[in-house]
């Protein structure tokens, strides 16, 4: 069988951004993701339950790029989700990557107002899309 446009599984490559965790205020970065062979992606971020009774919460997530996957991280233009401001939410953004450097990572920033040691369940995923070559299946 040959791959075609209805074989969605051969057109994407999901990669972990930040794994699901109860996150306090601050920033966490995912491991580097090699995007070699893919020209676009979807960045998705999700919140879960909040604890500690915060008055407000925010989860912001954006893509960063690096030539070597270890140093020189910089924001990818137009690659940030609209910040999530409620528990149990999800947001995504489609990102074109034709000029991006080889490695990507997700930078998540969580902030709260009020509460007693608040945390929020948070996670992110990078779905690489638009492979240079479609493998035979």
Q: What class does CATH assign to 24-131? A: mainly beta
Per domain, the residue ranges of the chain are: 24-131
Cα 26 from Cα 66, distance rounded (Å): 22
Per-residue pLDDT tens digits for 4-22: 556 777 789 999 999 999 9
User: What predicted TM-score, i.e. pTM, was given to this entire model?
Assistant: 0.90
**Predicted confidence (pLDDT) at residue 32 exceeds the cutoff of 80:** yes
**pLDDT for the residue 135:** 60
Per-residue pLDDT tens digits for 42-72: 999 999 999 999 999 999 999 999 999 999 9
- How many other CB atoms are found less than 10 A from the CB of residue 57? 25
């Amino acid at each position: 069988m040959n791959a075609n446009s209805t074989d969605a599984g051969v057109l994407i490559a999901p990669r972990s951004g930040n794994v699901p965790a109860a996150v306090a205020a601050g920033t966490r970065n995912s491991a580097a993701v090699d995007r070699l062979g893919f020209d676009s992606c979807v960045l998705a971020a999700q919140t879960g339950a909040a604890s500690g009774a915060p008055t407000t919460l925010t989860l912001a997530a954006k893509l960063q790029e690096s030539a070597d996957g270890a140093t020189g991280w910089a924001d990818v233009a137009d690659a940030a989700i609209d910040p999530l401001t409620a528990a149990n939410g999800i947001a995504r953004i489609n990102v074109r990557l034709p000029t991006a450097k080889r490695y990507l990572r997700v930078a998540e920033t969580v902030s709260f107002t009020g509460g007693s040691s608040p945390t929020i369940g948070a996670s992110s995923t990078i779905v690489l899309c638009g492979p240079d070559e479609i493998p035979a299946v």
